[in-house]
Amino acid sequence: MSHFVAVLVGNTTAAIAVATRGTLGRVRRVPVGRIEALRAYLVKARRQNGIRPIPIVAASVNPAALEHLRLVAAGAAPGSHVCVARDDFPIPIRSDVDQPKRVGADRLLGALAALQQFHGACIVVDVGTAVTVNAVSVRGVFVGGAIFPGLSMMARALAEGTALLPAVSPAARPPVIGKSTEAAIIAGIVSGAAGAICNLISAARTVVGPDARVILTGGDARRLAGFLPKDCRDVQPNLVLGGLVIAYREWKKR
């Protein structure tokens, strides 16, 4: 197993890359509604693997999009099986939560990747469709975290749940005080999310230790990093995809 295709299927975006000896190649991202666009990538990966089927390793929090990926893979890379984290191989991190099977695979894979880096207490903040703040103890145990709506979801909820508030797109640099309705919404969404993350990191550190390292990941991580304390600005966009590679390689070693 020198190389394989790794695919992370989220609620909004799918990310794909070829992993060679545990190292991710260039990552491509497409909206989940356009997973068909991954066909050309899979065809190329199949050709580069010669006549042998290339392993396709996936993690998903979106069952419908995962099934679409299976169909695309069947046509683009005949003979290649889509091997799914948790369904076909385990995610090698211990957990101490009430319902382990209901914890999103993305949360566990991000925690696994962070643990591999720090070998101790750490906190992963994934800023995507939803924002998750996930804590790992000094003993390497996933102990849970918090979940709240992401920036776009908050903006959409305001537009759909009120009569007059407009739809907005959260800006990278929101105003401190909005001078228009749109600007006020953006300021509230971005600053509110950053404040929530700060509070949740502080709360998590009371559980796993004050020196717990923090990593940000997800599509809106860079947008929020500047609003967080300096020790909470380590942005790693491919953290969860890297965790998928770690989990699969560990399983294949057995």
Question: Which are the catalytic amino acids?
Answer: 106
Residue with tokens 């305001």: 158
Burial class (CB in 10 A: 0-12, 13-18, 19+), 30: middle
The kind and range of the H/E element at 14 are: strand 13-20
Burial class (CB in 10 A: 0-12, 13-18, 19+), 218: buried
**C-beta separation of 186 from 175 below 8 A:** yes
Q: How far apart are CA 204 and CA 210, in angstroms?
A: 9
Residues in CB range of 69: below 8 A, 6 or more apart: 7, 9, 14, 35, 38, 58, 60, 82
Q: How far apart are CA 70 and CA 74, in angstroms?
A: 6
Look up residue 176 and give its two tokens: 């401190």
Q: CA 195, 12, 183 angle in degrees (round to 5)? A: 45
CA distances from 65 to 13, 43, 44, 239 (A): 10, 19, 21, 21
